[in-house]
Amino acid sequence: MSQQNKEKTSLLKPFINGLITENPTFVLMLGLCPTLAVTNSASNALGMGLSSTAVLVMSNLLISALRNIIPDKVRMPAYIVIVASFVTIVQFILQGYAPGIYESLGIYIPLIVVNCIILGRAEAYANSHSVGLSIMDGLGMGFGFTIGLFLIGAFRELLGSGTILGFKLTPASFEPIAIFVLAPGAFFVLAALTAIQNKFKLKSATNGSVTRSNLACGGDCLSCHGSICESNRDKLETTNSVTAKNDKKKED
């Protein structure tokens, strides 16, 4: 395989990973607060998904570029400041050019700052990878999140209102099922779509197929303390160090 093809494969891997293999909505089950709250319509779902994608890509880019400059002791506060800055920019853009979406999403736009997907990718990926790979990771995770939100929003809107993106798609005789545009409908649709992806045997936190953690506590964070915590920290630091070295070799 030529060097150019290797570089393309290397860049595509984090994108496909976020889009399919580790889809944040249906596989990792992250960001469920906005997933359940704003998906009463497909347009709201798209607005939240694309806003989160923009913030994720830009924060990954900047955090990766500054990863050797940000002191380790203050990296989380630094990440929050960076993410909050991009969220503010996105909020102003929506307020000026898409006021309808801005009003519909409401408080959930500023809450993107503490979205576990964005902070998680900053800590787990952008902090130890190149700018190019971090951008592709942000795009993959962002589009994966957007697709998940859109599917949930489209099904809820179709069943609850008979429309998708405001276009009437059901016959006149169809009686909308109002519960699907209410809070319980979000749980029903998420459960159904997650069950479908489980049927395709994608590894998910909900189907028991995720590889068990080799940490001392077995991945049970609630009972992790004392000497167990110290042991796990050493293991994680060793794993992160090996991963970073391997990635650097691939880039070289």
End-to-end CA distance of the chain: 15
- What's the rounded Cα separation, in Å, for the pair 155 and 178? 12
Type of residue at 38: V
- What's the rounded Cα separation, in Å, for the pair 50 and 146? 6
Res 102 pLDDT > 70: yes
Res 158: pLDDT: 92
What is the reported pTM? 0.76
Average of per-residue pLDDT across 206-215: 56
Res 157: pLDDT: 92
Kindly report the CA angle at 48 between 42 and 50, in degrees rounded to 5? 95
Res 95: pLDDT: 94
Tokens of 188: 């029903």
Q: Which residue has the tokens 């997907």?
A: 117
Res 214: pLDDT: 57
Q: Tell me the average pLDDT of the chain.
A: 83
Q: How confident is the model at residue 87 (pLDDT cuts 50, 70, 90)?
A: very high
Transcribe 87-133 into DSSP letters. Answer: HHHHHHHHHHH-HHHHHHHGGGTGGGGG-HHHHHHHHHTGGGS-HHH
- What's the rounded Cα separation, in Å, for the pair 138 and 175? 40
pLDDT, tens digit, 9 for 90 and up, residues 136-181: 999 999 999 999 999 999 999 999 989 998 888 888 888 889 899 8
Res 66 pLDDT > 90: yes
Any idea where the domains of the chain sit in the sequence? 3-211, 212-252
71: three-class secondary structure by DSSP = coil
